[in-house]
A = this chain, B = another copy of it.
Amino acid sequence: MGELLGVAVLGAGHMGADHIRRLGRVVSGARVAAVADPDTDRAREAVAGLDGVSVHTETEAALDAPGVRAVLVASPGPAHEEALRAAFARGLPVLCEKPMVPGSAGALRVVEAEARLGRRLAQIGFMRRYDAEYRRLKELLDSGRLGRPLMLHCVHRNVSSPPGFTSAMLVESSVSHEIDAARWLLGQELTAVTVLRPRSSALAPEGLLDPQFVVFETEAGVLVDVEVFVNCGFGYQVRCEAVCEAGGARVGEQHTMVVTAGGEAREEVARDYLVRFADAYDREVQAWVDATRRGRVTGPSAWDGYAASAVAEAGVRSLAGGGRVAVELAERPPLYAGSGG
């Protein structure tokens, strides 16, 4: 398979540093060739111990650095559109963290730009598609053994939300994972969304509507409900139950070690997504590296990134008092036929 894939990583924050570690020390067949971050100190810290990495402040300089053959975008969302266009301009394959681009208008511009290229270069970081349990669920649904799906019941809980987290971000950021997972599991687009507001937890910051209860409808009439609760306090839990005509299937219980003490049997609940989905991130990046080295682009497409944005936007309108809001999608370019939802 020839030499190692040289990757330029854009952004060396929490997520970027984790991807640098993954490319440098976990997955096979890749090396970090360049890093760009306005904060060069943290960029240098993130690549400590790795050889042959150049550090830059500007995206374009990193993309043009020697040995760069692919790009991983882990910079803040508002910088993604420019980064994707720069990668497209150079013909570089790119793995872009979610959200692909904040707002569906920008997301649609990316889709159109890639469609004009006439070939796929971008894979979007919806890593649940690489989780072992979700894959098993997808396989089971696709097999038809349970008949047609009728409902998905989803739960998405975080211990606490970061500072500055807004009510809209529960839908735009947290639920975007369920939006993509539902489109992928069902192979259908989401056509309407209703956001309901239970009373807020005393543990939620003042003014944050948390939890929320989101109900999606699909083009074939499947109902997808999501409890999103980002200050639940008691652990990171992601569950999904598919209810079908001939049976149901549930993932996300994650039973592992059972400890019995003091009159109770206990099982640990993961504290955050880097614990729960550590293997999924590894598999996602390994799959991207492997495909890229073979000259292929697979995985979630720019269209999937756009669809998630469009659905989330409708959700935010519903949250703002709009009741049930229909989702309007642009026409899907032929390049994305068969991709994602």
Residues in B neighbouring A155, C-beta threshold 8 A: 153
How many whole Å from A98's CB to the nearest CB in chain B? 24
A92 at interface (Cβ–Cβ under 8 A)?
A: no
By the criterion CB–CB under 8 Å, are B1 and A50 in contact? yes
How far does the Cβ of A250 sit from chain B's closest Cβ, in whole Å? 5
A249 at the binding interface (Cβ < 8 Å): yes
Tell whether, in the assembled complex, residue B257 and residue A151 are in contact, meaning their CB atoms are under 8 Å apart. no
Question: CB < 8 Å: which of B137, B146, B199, B269 contacts A263?
Answer: B269
For window 190-210 of A, CB contacts with B under 8 Å fall at 196-203
Q: Which residues of chain B are near A151, meaning CB under 8 Å?
A: 198, 211, 213, 227
Choose among B51, B201, B234, B290 the residue that contacts A261 (Cβ–Cβ < 8 A).
B234
CB distance from A203 to the nearest CB of B (A): 6
- Looking at A49, A200, A232, A261, which has the most chain B CB atoms within 10 Å of its CB? A261
A27 located at the interface, meaning its Cβ lies under 8 Å from any Cβ of chain B in the complex: yes
> Chain B interface: which of A83-91, A111-119, A215-223, A329-337?
A215-223
The 0/1 profile, CB within 8 Å of B marked 1, for residues 39-82 of chain A is 00000000001110000000000000000000000000000000
Which residues on B sit within 8 Å (CB–CB) of A220? 199
CB of A235 within 8 A of chain B? yes
- Does A237 belong to the interface (CB within 8 Å)? yes
Is B269 within 8 A of A259, CB to CB? no
Q: Which residue of B lies closest to A250 (CB)?
A: B258
Interface residue? A28 (CB, 8 A) = yes
Cβ of A37: which chain B residues have Cβ within 8 Å of it? none
- The CA-CA distance from A132 to B255 in the complex, in Å, is 12
| A163 contacts B by Cβ under 8 Å | no
9 closest A-B pairs by beta carbon, nearest first, are A247-B261, A199-B221, A255-B255, A198-B223, A201-B245, A249-B259, A264-B266, A265-B267, A248-B260
